């Protein structure tokens, strides 16, 4: 997994690239959680994520829940087809913020 973060005011956009699986979930959390704890609105751009397993989905859910607790939000943007398929199979499109 590669990533790039761009901050603009209170919005932090995280561009993720590659595979989000068990091997990188801790790294993903270490990247995303401090942005949420700083009460930034986090936009996760997933257009270059080719694969995401259940551990990657758990990072999305935990991020979403933490953001709601702190009064901010995590928005998933430009979701790749393979990741969208996993989100839909888990019926998370009704819970997570998709754009």
Give the model's pLDDT for residue 72.
Answer: 98
What is the domain partition of the chain in residue ranges?
2-98
Tally: H helices and E strands in the chain: 3, 5
> What's the average model confidence in pLDDT over 17-25?
96
pLDDT in tens, 25-76: 999 999 999 999 999 999 999 999 999 999 999 999 999 999 999 999 999 9
Q: Which CATH number fits domain 2-98: 3.40.50.2300, 3.30.750.24, 2.70.70.10, 3.40.50.300?
A: 3.30.750.24
The CA distance from 39 to 78, in Å, is: 22
> What's the average model confidence in pLDDT over 13-31?
96
The CA distance from 32 to 45, in Å, is: 12
Give the global pTM: 0.95
Q: Indicate the length of the chain as a whole number.
A: 99
Give the model's pLDDT for residue 19.
Answer: 96
Give the model's pLDDT for residue 33.
Answer: 98
> What's the average model confidence in pLDDT over 75-94?
96
């Amino acid at each position: 997994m590669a990533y790039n973060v761009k901050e603009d005011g209170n919005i932090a956009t995280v561009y993720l690239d590659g595979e989000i699986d068990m091997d990188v979930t801790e790294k993903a959390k270490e990247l995303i959680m401090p942005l949420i704890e700083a009460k930034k609105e986090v936009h996760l751009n997933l257009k270059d994520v080719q694969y995401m397993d259940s551990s990657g989905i758990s990072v999305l859910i935990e991020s979403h829940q933490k953001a709601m607790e702190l009064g901010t939000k995590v928005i998933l943007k430009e979701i790749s087809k393979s990741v969208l398929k996993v989100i839909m199979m888990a019926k998370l499109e009704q819970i997570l913020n998709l754009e």
